Structure 1
Amino acid sequence: MAKRTATTPDPDDGLGLRERKKRQTAARIYRSAIGLFTDRGFDEVSVAEIAAAAEVSKMTVFNYFPTKEDLVMAPMEDHTDEAARVVRERAPDASVVAALRDQFLAALAGFDPATGLNDDPFTLSVVRLIHRTPTLALRAITTVSHQANRLLTAELLRQDPAGDRIRAEVAAAQLLGVRVALTSHNQDRMLAGERAADVLPEAVENARRAYDMVEHGLGDYGLWPGAAPAQPTA
């Protein structure tokens, strides 16, 4: 979860007391689970132990997080429809690439964990947990990435007057591939101990270059100056 500062709007503002309490309970369960998973490993902690740590019943945990994996992945999955939503809500004169590039750059500036550029210790503990737990890493690919791709493809296809499915699928793969590559690179640097503020200028430049590649195509990429053609193997 992103670290909130005094100048950041409270996401609970405007909610009724009942809804605020529900969100507070969910956050307490989530943080309790991550703390236990970080200390002992995902597979070594039971849902009953998480419930005890959060001071709720086991049934309450399942009411908020239907599966054990949800206790880690739910915040990440809140971003599953993000790319499709950005495309759907973009300005009439903005291209799909421009809209997604601007959104990613703004998220970088805010050190949004979804960009990988966030050095908050709690956030990094979640990233490490996902990386070292095969079931969570697999879910990040099979559920989060595939669902994001499906939603973005559907939105692109909905807006395409020609109804060209192949074009929508290829565009979605390229656009989401950029986000995944940039986010993974940023996460690796955070896990290596670098500070987000120090990495930000380079992360912004990387994002601009990456989206430029999507916007203008690969062109003559691979025709390295002075490089001899690869020889076929036997």
Structure 2
Amino acid sequence: MNGEPGLRERKKRRTHAAISEAAIALFLEHGYTRVPVTRVAEAAEVSKRTLFAYFPTKEDLVVHRFADHEEEPARVVRDRPADSTPLAALRTHFLAGLRERDPITGLNDRVEVRALYQMILDNPPLVARLEHFRAGAERALAQALCDTADTTALTARLAAVQLVGVQWALAHDNAQRLAYGEPADERYAGAVRDAEHAFALLANGLGVLPARG
């Protein structure tokens, strides 16, 4: 075994990508609410049943792109240096994301990314569906805190809610500004100031979390 995915898995990934790309293209061209799922299935050359096997809801056709980041805060906490607190590790990671214009921070103004931001922000069902990934991020981070820090389950859960909530709020603010015309380079300094302020506020209550258990 060389660790490479087999033929079946590669086919599944290609089908997943084809459906997603067809959906995003149609939604951006015609509007999210105006494109039925059947039209997406036709464009991707799959059955409606197959489409729903990959994407359980219409909203998932768009917001699944955030799924890869659902456990990102937890990974950052688990992989942090032994002398780093969870808060410090997440702050460093978020600031690095801003510098690198990582779309998950909201600070990316590539045409296709900006269009995706705007579509999500203009459609409440898509915003609501994102809460599914936010809740998953909170659960994963709470478990990572329990596993790597000497803290109670309640403290870990409350900390995770605050940490994930702050990062999502910062990303939402950035995305909203960029979706309606502000260039990423012009927003960058303000985004850094907002992030520094947010993490400083968290430090007043969460800085007591130990570096590692």
State the TM-score, normalized to the length of structure 1: 0.76
Contact 2:77 2:89 in 1 (8 A): yes
Query: Structure 2: which amino acid aligns with 1:175?
Result: L
From 197, 204, 210, the equivalent of 1:216 is 204
Is residue 64 of structure 2 the alignment partner of residue 64 of structure 1?
no
Is residue 109 of structure 2 the alignment partner of residue 119 of structure 1?
yes
Q: Distance in 2 between matches of 1:204 and 1:153?
A: 25
The residue number in structure 2 matching 1:29 is 19
Q: Distance in 1 between matches of 2:20 and 2:4?
A: 20
Q: How many angstroms does 1:24 deviate by?
A: 4.1
Q: How many angstroms does 1:99 deviate by?
A: 0.7
SS at match of 1:78: helix
The residue number in structure 1 matching 2:211 is none
* RMSD (Å), alpha carbons: 2.4
Higher helix proportion = 2
The residue number in structure 2 matching 1:194 is 182
Give a deviation string over 1:23-69, Cα, whole Å, max 9, x none: 44433321221122233333332222112223344344334323322
The residue number in structure 2 matching 1:145 is 134
Alignment gaps of 5+ in structure 1: 1-13, 219-234
51-60 or 192-201, which deviates more: 51-60
Q: Distance in 2 between matches of 1:68 and 1:191?
A: 22
The residue number in structure 2 matching 1:155 is 144
The residue number in structure 2 matching 1:84 is 74
Q: Distance in 1 between matches of 2:38 and 2:165?
A: 38
Q: Distance in 2 between matches of 1:42 and 1:116?
A: 20
Identity rate of aligned residues, in percent? 43
Provide closer, same or farther for how the CA distance between residues 180 and 131 of structure 1 changes in structure 2, counting only shifts above 3 A: same
The size of the alignment, in residue pairs, is 203
Q: Distance in 1 between matches of 2:196 and 2:10?
A: 38
State the TM-score, normalized to the length of structure 2: 0.83
Whose RCO is larger (CA < 8 A, sep 6+)? 2
Q: Distance in 1 between matches of 2:186 and 2:99?
A: 12
Q: Distance in 2 between matches of 1:75 and 1:137?
A: 13
Q: Distance in 2 between matches of 1:17 and 1:119?
A: 36
Query: Structure 1: which amino acid aligns with 2:118?
Result: R
Q: How many angstroms does 1:100 deviate by?
A: 0.5
Contact 2:118 2:176 in 1 (8 A): no
Query: Structure 2: which amino acid aligns with 1:106?
Result: A
SS at match of 1:187: helix
